[in-house]
């Protein structure tokens, strides 16, 4: 079971407000406000009104990139088509981060209601919640909740007595890290190999079955009912001006590893504090933010706010929502090597930067790790990373360069082969 970290009482609770109740008890959830948002969307706001409310709330996608959700919905709603779909992305690609699954286990109704509202807003009759096939707990919790909500008339062939249809289906999928990427996820839902497609056209224009499809992270969708219930103003009052609301963060320190709901814009120092103090005698060497393709930032970032834009500028990203305190025991080059290798292994192989670029990058880091002296490597790594970013087919290979580029940017000397022991074996490792 995932460990929930205690947060200050003053922090807003938007996603985990009902986390302590029995997650699949529909009556309790309804008593606490579940499906009020859906009723507002259905009865008062209508499609355009709902999208306007989400736009007014400045909700941004929690799947990593922070794309404005209202814009995405409007694109899907206004693209001419006979059919539209909503896909809730609950894949949770990073195996070391449990943020999305925590949400789905603690409050499945928020995810389901958010998905239903998105479908109502864009005029979709079918929606899918994509989850990991190996996560039996999430599948059974969500499926039970969908069943109860359908029986109660919140979903199904006659939603809220309106005569309109809206089906939400839990779809287990399985593949590699890449499956979390939206175009890959759609491929999996279509029963094809998990490999990305060139964007644009974005899924909001041409997605599942080539129909306009909204793909949103489950946290993004779970914030939607709250926004419709409490109003966009109330939402904008939380988090930061550029990024209102809260996100779930997997905080990991040497002493603790758990999930917490954190308002966007909270100083990174406060986020790390949720994981307790570093053990006696240890100092903070770096902070790893964003998961396997995250950025390695120096301790001076502690006062920077945790939000999409600041992290991007610093060379990291919110990514899988993981924030890891790296103390002075860690060999940073080894850490970067582990991350880069994972990203390379999980790349799908469809494009050259993906198949070969990430592999070469991992090899360069591995040479650094064992202290092999190749004077051109530093330049080579920088050039290669640049080329990968410039020619990538999907964001995975772009982001896969981040551990190395951020490591070299902030901890350059650690990556200098002169500072590393000469390998015992000869240079045969080349």
Partner 1 sequence: MSFMVPGLGIVKGMALTLRRFFEPKATIMYPEQRADVAAKFRGRLQLLYDEWGTLKCETCFQCAQACPIECIDMGGTDTRGRFHVHWGPPETYGERREESAVRRAGRPVPDPAFRPFEPLDMTELDRILEDFDHDPAHMLEILEATQEAYGYLPVAALKRISHVTGAWYAMIYGAASYYAHLRFEPPTATEQSDALGRNRPAESAYVAALDAALQGGGRQSASARA
Ligand X SMILES: Cc1cc2nc3c(=O)[nH]c(=O)nc-3n(C[C@H](O)[C@H](O)[C@H](O)COP(=O)(O)O)c2cc1C
What part of residues 155-184 is at the interface with ligand FES (CB under 6 A)?
178
Alpha carbon distance 227, 237 (integer Å): 11
> Residue 115: which of partner 1, ligand FES, ligand X, none does it interact with, CB under 5 to 8 A by kind?
none
**What are the CA-CA distances from residue 340 to residues 97, 129, 249, 368 (Å)?**
17, 30, 22, 12
Least distance (Å) between residue 323 CB and partner 1:
13
Alpha carbon distance 385, 358 (integer Å): 9
| Among 35, 85, 342, 415, contact with partner 1 (rule: CB under 8 A) | 342
Give the count of residues interacting with partner 1 (CB under 8 A): 44
Angle at 148 between CA 145 and CA 152, to 5 degrees: 140
Angle at 19 between CA 316 and CA 104, to 5 degrees: 60
Is position 43 an interface residue for partner 1 (rule: CB under 8 A)? no
Is position 334 an interface residue for partner 1 (rule: CB under 8 A)? yes
What part of residues 387-426 is at the interface with partner 1 (CB under 8 A)?
420-421
Is position 281 an interface residue for partner 1 (rule: CB under 8 A)? no
Task: Enumerate the β-bridge partners of residue 322.
Answer: 250
SS3 for 339-370 is HHHHHHHHCCCCCHHHHHHHHHHHHHHHHHHC
Least distance (Å) between residue 330 CB and partner 1:
6
Alpha carbon distance 19, 31 (integer Å): 14
Place of tokens 């793909």: 215
11 touches 271 (CB < 8 A): no
Is position 95 an interface residue for partner 1 (rule: CB under 8 A)? yes
> Residue 347: which of ligand FES, partner 1, ligand X, none does it interact with, CB under 5 to 8 A by kind?
ligand FES
Is position 114 an interface residue for ligand X (rule: CB under 6 A)? no
Is position 246 an interface residue for ligand X (rule: CB under 6 A)? no
| Among 23, 196, 245, 403, contact with ligand FES (rule: CB under 6 A) | 196
- Binding segment toward ligand X, per CB under 6 A, in 28-36, 55-63, 134-142, 308-316: 55-63
Whichever of 246 and 285 has its CB closer to ligand X, that residue is 246
**Binding residues for ligand X (CB under 6 A):** 61-65, 67, 89, 91-93, 177-178, 180-182, 215-217, 220, 394-396
């Amino acid at each position: 079971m995932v460990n929930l970290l205690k947060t200050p009482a003053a922090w807003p609770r938007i996603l985990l407000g009902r986390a302590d109740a029995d997650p699949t008890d529909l009556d309790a959830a309804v008593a606490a406000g579940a499906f009020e948002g859906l009723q507002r969307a259905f009865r008062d706001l209508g499609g355009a009104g709902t999208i306007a409310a989400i736009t007014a709330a400045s909700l941004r996608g929690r799947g990593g990139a922070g794309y404005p959700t209202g814009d995405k919905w409007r694109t899907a709603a206004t693209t001419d088509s006979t059919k539209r779909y909503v896909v809730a992305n609950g894949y949770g690609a990073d195996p070391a981060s449990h943020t999305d699954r925590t949400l789905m286990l603690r409050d499945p109704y928020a995810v389901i209601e958010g998905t239903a509202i998105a479908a109502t807003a864009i005029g979709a009759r079918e929606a899918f919640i994509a989850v990991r096939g190996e996560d039996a707990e999430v599948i059974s919790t969500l499926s039970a909740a969908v069943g109860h909500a359908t029986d109660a008339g919140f979903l199904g062939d006659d939603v809220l007595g309106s005569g309109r249809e809206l089906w939400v289906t839990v779809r287990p999928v399985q593949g590699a890290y890449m499956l979390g990427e939206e175009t890959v996820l759609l491929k999996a839902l279509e029963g094809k190999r998990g490999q990305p497609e060139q964007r644009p056209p974005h899924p909001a224009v041409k997605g599942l079955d080539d129909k306009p499809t909204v793909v949103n992270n489950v946290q993004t969708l779970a914030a939607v009912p709250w926004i419709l219930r409490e109003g966009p103003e109330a939402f904008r009052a939380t988090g930061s001006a550029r990024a209102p609301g809260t996100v779930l963060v997997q905080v990991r320190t040497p002493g603790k590893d758990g999930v917490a709901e954190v308002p966007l814009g909270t100083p990174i120092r406060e986020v790390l504090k949720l994981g307790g103090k570093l053990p006696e005698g240890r100092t903070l060497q770096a902070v790893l933010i964003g998961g396997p393709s995250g950025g390695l930032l120096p301790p001076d970032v502690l006062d920077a706010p945790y939000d999409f834009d600041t992290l991007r500028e610093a060379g990291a990203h919110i990514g899988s929502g993981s924030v890891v305190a790296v103390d002075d025991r860690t060999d940073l080059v080894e850490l970067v090597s582990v991350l880069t290798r994972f990203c390379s292994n999980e790349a799908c192989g469809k494009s050259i930067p993906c198949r070969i670029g990430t592999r070469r990058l991992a090899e360069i880091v591995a040479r650094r790790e064992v202290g092999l002296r190749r004077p051109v490597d530093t330049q080579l790594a920088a050039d290669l990373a640049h080329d990968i970013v410039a020619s990538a087919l999907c964001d995975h290979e772009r982001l896969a360069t981040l551990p190395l580029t951020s490591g070299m940017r902030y901890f350059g000397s650690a990556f200098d082969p002169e500072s590393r022991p000469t390998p015992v074996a000869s240079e045969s490792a080349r």
